[in-house]
Chain A
């Protein structure tokens, strides 16, 4: 087969070509549509990338306060909700107030100080380990430590939303009564006597929001589990004045 025959054969191969229905305008329109689709796709891609980069970079760029919380130039947040306070900060604030108020009420107490912790149930501050978190643990718990004539001991303070605290307060109590407050809250006062001596005095303030604030005085040091004494050092009346003090913001 010569080259000439190949040439002729190729020409013959296309002799019966179908009619060409080609419109350059249609082709141009298709290209323009393709271009605009590509531009839209690129724009969406760039916008997505910018959103991702911004969301990743923004937390690192904003100034932070001492607790590592994001700050906003000292301005309060625009919403009407109260500013969120970390449990530790709240515990410190309540502890300071209770220390102050207890010192005023019980002038014989020395070395009064508070130790609070968010989340965990009342614990021994001297313990080298932190107890594991449990579902029923309170929002905030701690102790107000003091030293009286007998020796060092403490009041236990709990702030929780767990209703079982309210349900169990009167269990085994020698006396138990509810005292309605003018602000809509209710204070339950309970005393557990062992013979003639006060083994435990406890007050529980119930807030309409569902919060419960409990202060207890034991005939031992609840912070250490030791220091057994004849009677609880703080009577229920003093605990009531502490739990209802308007300067202590429990919620």
Chain B
């Protein structure tokens, strides 16, 4: 690869690695796996960089690669065995406001725990639409499906998410709005 192309990839990777890892985390629910997914996706992009470097929306292509990588990873038998739905903090953070932290932890656990119970493709649609803030058309491109499918998957995903959240709220004694 030419030095200029390599530099272009280096800049793209450095600028988007963090956001890709966040998206990957919402897909898989584990920061280590998220980092692996992000690195695998960027490696795939590097190998195809000569062909894709001139695309209009490279980050959309990166999301598509990330999604494919995650779905492929999920199909592997050794990944099916483990299903994490939360992790305990190593130590309490005394520097932040307890009320704010509590609210954040509740929101995080609620969304994250509930999100992990949504089927993978519906979860992907929800993450791309509500976390990445993509339009239906953009999600359809990323998912490689029609806009109608995106809409139906979104509706089903939301319904599943709400059902799980309701159950979690009832068990913890809180009321969802």
Q: Could you list which residues of chain A lie within 8 angstroms of chain B, going by C-beta atoms?
A: 1-3, 5-18, 20, 22, 24-25, 27-28, 30-31, 34-35
* In the bound complex, CA of A28 to CA of B10 (Å): 8
Per DSSP, chain A at the interface is: helix
Interface bracket on B: 35 or more
Beta-carbon contact of A7 and B6 below 8 Å = no
- Given A1-B165, A16-B104, 15 more A-B residue pairs with CB atoms under 8 Å apart are A5-B177, A7-B133, A9-B111, A10-B111, A13-B26, A13-B115, A17-B21, A17-B22, A17-B31, A20-B35, A22-B13, A22-B38, A25-B10, A27-B39, A28-B9
Contact of B61 with A by CB under 8 A: no
Beta-carbon contact of B17 and A20 below 8 Å = yes
What is the number of contacts between chain A and chain B, taking CB atoms within 8 Å? Answer: 87
Interchain nearest-CB distance for B80 vs A (Å): 23
Q: Could you list which residues of chain B lie within 8 angstroms of chain A, going by C-beta atoms?
A: 6, 9-10, 13-14, 17-18, 21-22, 25-26, 31, 35, 38-39, 42-43, 46-47, 89, 104, 107-108, 110-112, 115, 126-127, 130-131, 133, 158, 161-162, 165, 176-177
* In the bound complex, CA of A2 to CA of B18 (Å): 27
Contact of A20 among B21, B130, B162 (CB under 8 A): B21
Given A1-B162, A14-B22, A17-B25: A24 in contact with B126 (beta carbons within 8 A): no
Beta-carbon contact of A28 and B46 below 8 Å = yes
Name the residue on B nearest A2 (C-beta): B177
Name the residue on B nearest A19 (C-beta): B18
* In the bound complex, CA of A28 to CA of B115 (Å): 33
Max chain B Cβ within 10 angstroms of own Cβ: one of A8, A14, A17, A28: A14
* In the bound complex, CA of A10 to CA of B107 (Å): 8
Q: Which residues of A contact B104 (CB under 8 A)?
A: 12, 15-16
Contact of B31 among A10, A18, A28, A34 (CB under 8 A): A18
